[in-house]
Every structure is written in C-alpha cells, then in structure tokens.
Amino acid sequence: MHIFCFLQVRSHMPSALAPLLPSFCRDLIAILGSLSFECSVTIEDGYLMRLKTGKRSLLIFCAFISRHRKYSDKLMPDIINCVLNIVKYSKKTSELNFLSERIVSLAFDVISHVLETGPGWRLVSPHFTFLLDSAIFPALVLNEKDISEWEEDAEEYIRKNLPSDLEEISGWREDLFTARKSAMNLLGVISMSTVTTQYSSINVFEPSLLTSSVVYVFCLVPQGPPIGNSSNGSSTASKRKKSEKNKRYSQRRFMGELFVLPFLSKFPIPSDANASQPKILNDYFGVLMAYGGLQDFLRVQEPGYISTLVYNRVLPLYTISACLPYLLATANWVLGELAPCLREEMSADVYSSLLKALAMPDKGDTSCYPVRVSAAGAIAALLENDYAPPEWLPLLEVVIGRIGNGDEESSLLFQLLSSIVEAVDENVAVHIPYIVSALVGTITKLIPANPEPWPQVVERGFAALAVMAQSWENLLPEEIEQNELSEKWTSGRATIGRAFSALLQHAWLSPMYQSDREGEGSNTASCIDDSSTLLLSIMLSVSGSNVLLELKVSELLLVWANLIADCYAWDESENLSIFDCIKDVVNLHSKYGLKNFLVGRMLSPPAPPVPQRSIIEGIGGFVSEAISQYPSATWRACSCVHILLHVPSYSFDADGVKQSLVIAFSRAAFCRFREIRSNPCSLWKPLLVAIASCYLCYPDVVEEILEKGECGGFTIWASALGFLLTSSYESGLSEKSEIKLIVIALAQVVEQLGLRKPSSGVLRDCFTSLLEASARLKEVQEEKEEAEQDDEEDDDDDDDETSDYDEESEPEEQEETEEEFLDRYAKAAVALENGTVIEEGDVEDQEHETELGSLEEVDERKVVLSLIEKYHHALIQGQTLPLELISRFLNAYPECSLYFQ
C-alpha cells in the first residue's frame, strides 16, 4: 500500500486520496513515532517491517511536500515535529544499523524539502539552533564507525565521505545516502536561506576574524527559503562602507554568514599543542565536513571571503607535525570542492599543500590511502579550473613514483595523470616522452598472464597513454622548418613509438606466441580503442623500412586486425580511434608495404595449407559489421570502404581478397539501406555511395548481390543513387570526390543497361541522373575555384579591415521559433512512437572527404564523353530530356552540343 501511495503521490494527487490525506499522514507519523533508535533494540521480522514502513513514509513525505503544496502546508507542523524527534538520534549513527540510519537520513531530507517552501521555512527557522547543536553537527563529527571503515574498507569510506570526479560510482547505491550526507545537505540549505538584518555596522560579523564574538544582531526579519539569485548576498556585502558605522540600516544576508559560520568558528583548529586531544580532532573533522556542505553558500561569496576561510581554517592543518590523516583527507576534499572559487594566488598555496598530501606515505599501521586519493581529486579539480603549477615535474614525479603501489591507487593516479596531460600545457607536453617511458614498464608488469579480462588499473593505464599520444601529436610544430623544435619533436615521437611498441608486443605478441605452441588463440580485445590510439602513434613514428621491422608493426597490425574483426561490443563513444587507425594503416602499406596486409601467412604443418586472415580482411570484417549493426558508425565505416577498395594496389594473387571485401561491404550496405529505405535521410548517401564503390570494382558481382537481397535490388539502388542528385534529397551532394564517384558509377550503370535494355525506363532515368551529376560536378569545381580565389584575395587585404567586414557582413544566425521547435519535437515524437527514428551519427562524421585512391586517376570527362559518343542514338535521340538540365550539362560539356541538336 505504501509503495502504491508513494508512486501515486509522486506523479499526481488522485482526487479520491485527497480527503484521506490528513488521517493517512497521521497514521504514518504514528508509525514513525513508534520507532526506537536505541542500539539495544534487536531487528526481528515484525520490527524490520516497521522500519521499512517508516522509511517509505519519509519518502512519501518528501514527495508530498515537494509536489503537493496545496495539501501539505496544513500538515507541515505535525510532519516537522515528527522528523525533529528522529534527527536528534544522529549522534548515535555509529551504533545504528543501516536501515535505522537511512531513516535518520531521510528525516534530514524531509526538513530540507520543508525549508524550500515559505511556510516551511518559518516553521523550521526557530529550531535552527537545536538542529545545528543536537542533530546536524553530531552527524558530522568523526566516530568509531568512520575509523573502522577507514581501516577495513577505505574505498567505501572514500565513496561515502570524499566523493570526487576521479571516483566512479555506477548504479544506484542507497548505502551511500548516509545520515552525514543528508545532514550536510540540510546545512547547505540553511546556509543559503536569507534574512533581513537591522544592526549597527560596528557590530557586523567580519569573515576576516571568523569568530562569533563580534556578531551582535539587533534584529532578524525572516525572509524565506534559499534564494536562486546567488549574486544578491555577495553584492550587498560588497557595498558595506565604513563611513556608515553609526547608521542603522537593513540588509539581506545569508544564514550561512550570520548563523552557521559563527557556530563553526567556536571549534578550535588542531595544532601541535592540542593534536593529542581526540575530542578536538573529532569535532574539527565535523567542521571540515560542514565546510564541504557549505560549498554552494561559499561559492556565492566574494573570493576574499573564501581565501580568508581557507587560510585560517584549512591550510594550517598541513603544517602540523602530528599525523592527522582523517582531517587531512577531509581538508583535501574541501579544497577540491572550493577549487572553482579560489583566486590564482590562493590556488598556488592550496596546490603546494595538496602536493604534500599526495606524497604522504602510510604512517605505521595507519593507511594514508584516502589522503592521497582525496589529494589527487582536489589537484584534478584545480587543473580543471585552469590552474597551472609553475613547475610540473615535481607533480609528475610524485604521481609516477606512486603508480604501481596498489591497483586502486594506481587507477586513480592514472586518471590524475590524464587530467594533467589534458591541461594542454606545453610545459607538461615536453615531459611526455619521459612519462611514457617510465609508465610502460609499470603497465607491462600489471598486465596479467591470463589476458581475459584486463583489470581496471591496466585499462586506465592504457587510457592515460592514449591521452599522452594524442597530446604529443597536437604539439606538432606549425612551422616544420623550425629545425631545432622539429628535431626535438621527432625524437620524442620516436621514443614514444618505441615504448608503445614494446608495450603492445608484450600485451599481444607474447600471448600469441604462447598460444601458437598450445594450439589456441588467447589475445584480448581489452582497451581496443586506446590500443588503436597507441598503434596509430607507432605508425606515425615510422620513418623507414628499418623502423617498420624494428617496431614489429606488421605483426602488431595483424593481431589488431583480428581483434577488431571479432570485436562486437561496439561503443559509439569509444572505438572511433579504430577508424582513425584504418586510414593510416592503408597509407603505411602504400608507402612501405606491410607483410600480411593483403594475404595472410600460411600455417605451419601439420595444419592445412590455408592462409590465415590478412590485415585488410580483419579490417574489412570490422567495417562490414559496423555498417550492419551500428548506425552511429555508418558514416565512418562507409568512408573506410572507399579507402580499402581503391587506395591499396591489389596484386593478381590478392584479387580474391578484394572480391570478398566487395561482397561483404555491398551486402552489409544494401541490407542496412533496405531497413531505412522508406524514409530518405542523410544515411542514404554513405550507404549508396559505398555500394557504388563496390560496383566499380566488380559490377556483375554487386548486381547479383543486390538482386539476391531483393527482387529488383539493382534498379532500386540505381534509382536511389539518382535521387541523391535531386532537390528532394535534403542532405544534398556538395563534395567533389563523392560526386565524381557517382558520375563514374552511373556511367558504368548506363553502359551496362544500354547493352542489355536499350529502351528501358531505368536506362533513361539513370542517364538523366548522369547528366545531372556531371553538371553538378562542374559547378562544384567552379565554386571551389572561386572560393580559393576569394581566400587569396582576403589574405592580401588588411587583417583589421577584413575582420570588420566579416563582422558586419556575416548574417545573423536565425534562432528557432517556438512553433518550429514544437513542430520538430512533435514529428520526432511521432517517429519515435512509430519506430521510424533513424540514428544518423554525429555531424562531424559526415564531414570526412571520400578517399578515391586509384579512381583519382580516372578522367570522368572522358568517361562521359566516350559513353555519349557510343550510345547517343539510344540515350538522346527520341528521348524527352529537361531543357534546363541539357543547358547546364552543355555548359559543363560544350563538346557534346552536337549530340543534343
């Protein structure tokens, strides 16, 4: 019943339920009032059900207050009294079982929801002192359960108390919603509440003193719940003037400034003199936790306000000689939360303290792992907020030195290392060859003998190396003529390539050689995306055939091709590096000639004399699978079709390989096209053009595949290819290479049909499409030439004049109107309901230029002229062609005017 009511109340208020709400809520309150939070109470089956009912009751109250103010306002006093009686047990959370602590946590959440309403704020505000003294702060102080969890399960302690972007939490973890977190959230809500103060300015609370002794509020006029405009509090505070010392005035202030911070300031900061007193340490742990809960309030204050707080109440902890790991870990976390608000000069001092914490070793039996983890998270937060240390090497040495001392810690340090490198600072980039060389040996030791699966620490290590590889390539000198810089960069690239090759040889080739002896394969597809990035870096470092052999590039590529061919766990946010790698593999083969690229190696006897899968066959398997199964990869996969078919030079022995690729690509592309044929979209173009590429290689084979796929499949494809050239196709054709490919393909189609069906309607339609494509190609070429001329003229003009002209002449981007927005979403909703939504991939994927390879040498003008010269009687005479099309075609091919008279 409670679950039913909870779901109903969350979504809407049934009219039949509204009259029953007062009695229903009183029943829930009675159940909550009957709960006992004494540690001596044993959980029996009946009482366990009562606890679960109490938990659901509080969840109902949260939804009830947030969504149904019309009904909840009258019941708020009773609800408040109920939850106030529960939260006072927060001081016993270390002794409570999980379910009881969850109830205390939800009671804090109910108060937070109440405070966000005007009437609720007025009900709760008289209890602020009780809440802070007897409920919130007791939940924040360090207790025995924290120490036990720190020692026995540091990862769980960190997830509950020191969360950061470096720590990944998957799924919904109710055990992470602790009473402490809910108390911190409530403290944050209270601190963002506002009141109007009337006082003499000589008695104002001054943040520079951070003490409550100077606050003498004359009158507090309640205002209400937390405000949305965060600038109000800070702007009014900044207008305070010393000349108004004796003038009474009113000002809107935050409760965080007037009430919460003064309360926290009464707890002394630990020092060498009192570090041995447990109560001072435990209480100050609660103070630091409270500062973490005040982050929303602190972020709207003046930067000087936060600087004073950090200098006076946080940074002194790092100078104490005594070991205070529990406090330092929490201080690290607070500094990370406040990183976006710190001034640059403040960030330098914070960074220095965090670096010291990051290098902190374990103290005897006390692990300092949470200290290092929280320091890593805080440093990452500083870097993400554009702080750059004056010297990167000390940080890099600390991080690299600690990697390898435990898998969990190493995983987080790899993430921190990625954040450091992603800062795209040239002072970091120069150290990348050194970092890579140092890390490869460590990661090699972490790769298990059993290749499936790789542990998380290895995956994050590969991810960090991939980030470094990309950053180094981005450092490529713009002026390659700068010999000194260019030589350093080239040398660094070679160092990185050798290190990556050694790592991949250990990861891929060693298991392969071992499996050859055992007679079974054992390579792993773990980290295939990051491994592809490393492999790309290796290929880019190849400067000659000797380097190709030294780095064992062919052997690595053969393993990689087999891995991606059998990789079915596609992830559109990953695996894109594989496509980037494919183009470079083909280009590398064209330049140096790769072993086993076209034809695989023969197995040794007694195995049958059948060649294994070659590099290009493995790549082809991946590409065809991507076309068939993954819509988001269609554009990139189809662009690879052209590269694989037309860039390599296929020998006579490899003709069968090329034909097998054509069969796989054309079948996959046509199958996918049939699925989306009813709704013309941008995906039509890559699929149809990919089939055109295949058709140019083996016309008869592709025609047979299309006819097998669907009766009349060849005609369907040819007609659809012509449709791309019409104005009805919204995506259009604008790329010279793809139009040229269509021209050559249509010419081939027309010639084939002309020999077999010289009077068919399909032939006439294809010839019309050929004329349109030929005219369009000429127009695109002329537009490109004009654009290049305009660019040259713009380069000669004065830069300032050009920028002014551009700003004045650039048309304003038209914003979508409300009607257009609603119409677009209505169409999307209908398509979703009908199951006709087509995933079309990213716009970036559509910008890849089609690689024609050997087709670049084909003169399309000669092809078209030869075709018309041979078949003009059947193609032109007696046919009714659009006059406008003939005019455009003759502008492009004036030499054909004789045939159109």
Please tell me the distance from the alpha carbon of residue 658 to that of residue 628, in angstroms, as a whole number.
Answer: 19
Bond preceding residue 611 cis, omega within 30 of 0: no
Average pLDDT over residues 440-462: 87
Q: What are the tens digits of pLDDT across the range 586-632?
A: 999 999 999 999 988 776 666 566 668 899 999 999 999 999 888 88
- Reported confidence tier of residue 805, pLDDT bands at 50, 70, 90: very low
- The percent of residues above 70 in pLDDT, for the chain, comes to 79
pLDDT score for 168: 53
Is pLDDT at 332 greater than 90 in this prediction? yes
pLDDT at 266 over 90: yes
Given a cut of 80, whether residue 874 has pLDDT beyond it is: no
Task: Give the confidence band of 838 by pLDDT, cuts at 50, 70, 90.
Answer: low
Q: Compute the distance between CA of residue 437 and CA of residue 420 in angstroms, rounded to an integer.
A: 17
Higher-pLDDT residue of 176 and 146 is: 146
What mean pLDDT is predicted for residues 77-102? Answer: 90
pLDDT for 640 beyond 90: yes
User: What would the mean pLDDT of 657-674 be, rounded to a whole number?
Assistant: 95
> Is residue 203 predicted with pLDDT exceeding 50?
no
pLDDT band at residue 535 under the 50/70/90 scheme:
very high
Give whole-number Cα distances, 395 to 435, 462, 854, in Å: 12, 20, 51
More confident residue, 469 or 568: 469
Q: Which residue has the higher pLDDT, 49 or 552?
A: 552
- pLDDT higher than 70, residue 523: no
Q: How confident is the model at residue 224 (pLDDT cuts 50, 70, 90)?
A: low
Helices (H), 566-603: 576-592
User: Which runs of consecutive H residues, i.e. helices, occur in 230-324?
Assistant: 231-238, 255, 261-264, 278-293, 295-299, 303-313
Query: Beta-carbon neighbour count of residue 550 at 10 Å?
Result: 13
Residue type, 773: A
Three-state SS at 313: helix
**What does the pLDDT look like over 162-185, one tens digit per residue?**
887 665 543 345 556 789 999 999
Q: Give the pLDDT mean for 768-787.
A: 88
**Which has more pLDDT, 22 or 285?**
285
pLDDT tens, position by position, 30-64: 999 988 887 655 666 667 888 888 899 998 888 88
Distance separating alpha carbons of residues 557 and 617, to the nearest angstrom: 12
CA distances from 494 to 77, 113, 434, 497 (A): 73, 60, 12, 5
Amino acid 575: pLDDT? 63
pLDDT of 448 reads: 85
Q: Which residues are paired to 645 by β-bridges? A: none
In angstroms, the CA 807 to CA 208 distance is: 48
Q: Please give the torsion angle defined by the CA atoms of residues 331, 337, 341 and 342, in that order, rounded to the nearest 10 degrees.
A: 30
- Average pLDDT of the residues of the chain: 82
Estimate to the nearest angstrom the gap between the alpha carbon of 642 and the chain centroid.
Answer: 30
Q: Is the pLDDT of residue 660 over 90?
A: yes
- Per-residue confidence at 205, pLDDT binned at 50, 70, 90? very low
Query: Rounded to the nearest 10 degrees, how much is the dihedral formed by the CA atoms of 270, 273, 275, 278?
Result: -100
Question: DSSP alpha helices (H): ranges in 68-143?
Answer: 69-72, 76-87, 98-115, 118-124, 128-131, 137-140
- Percent of the chain exceeding pLDDT 90 equals 44
What pLDDT is recorded for position 197? Answer: 59
Check pLDDT > 80 for residue 13: no
Cβ atoms of residues 580 and 619 within 8 Å: no
Residues contacting residue 787 through CB under 8 Å, at least 6 positions apart: none
Q: Is the pLDDT of residue 754 over 70?
A: yes
Q: Greater confidence, 812 or 112?
A: 112
> What is the pLDDT averaged over residues 665-682?
92
Tell me what the mean pLDDT of segment 257-286 comes to. Answer: 93
3-state secondary structure at position 274: coil
Least confident of 55-64, 235-244, 731-740: 235-244
Q: What is the pTM of this model?
A: 0.81
Find the helix packing angle between 761-796 and 860-875, rounded to 10°.
Answer: 150
C-alpha to C-alpha distance for 418 and 415, rounded to whole angstroms: 5
pLDDT for 530 equals: 92
Instruction: Assess contact for 764 and 772: CB atoms under 8 A.
Output: no
Tens digit of pLDDT for each residue in 538-551?
Answer: 999 999 999 999 99
pLDDT of residue 603: 66
Give the best-scoring range by mean pLDDT among 97-106, 114-123, 280-289, 304-313.
Answer: 280-289
Q: Between 555 and 6, whose confidence is greater?
A: 555
- pLDDT over 60 (residue 808): no
- When pLDDT is cut at 50, 70 and 90, the band that residue 212 belongs to is very low
* Highest mean predicted confidence (pLDDT) among 163-167, 249-253, 440-444, 480-484: 440-444
Rounded mean pLDDT, 796-817: 52
Q: How far apart are CA 56 and CA 28, in angstroms?
A: 9
| CB contact set of 109 (below 8 Å; sequence gap of 6+) | 58, 62, 182, 185, 186
Q: Which residues of 425-462 are buried (b: 16+ CB within 10 A; e: fewer)?
A: eeebbbbbbebbebbbeebbeebeeebeebeebbbbbb
Residue 882: how many CB atoms within 10 A of its CB? 12
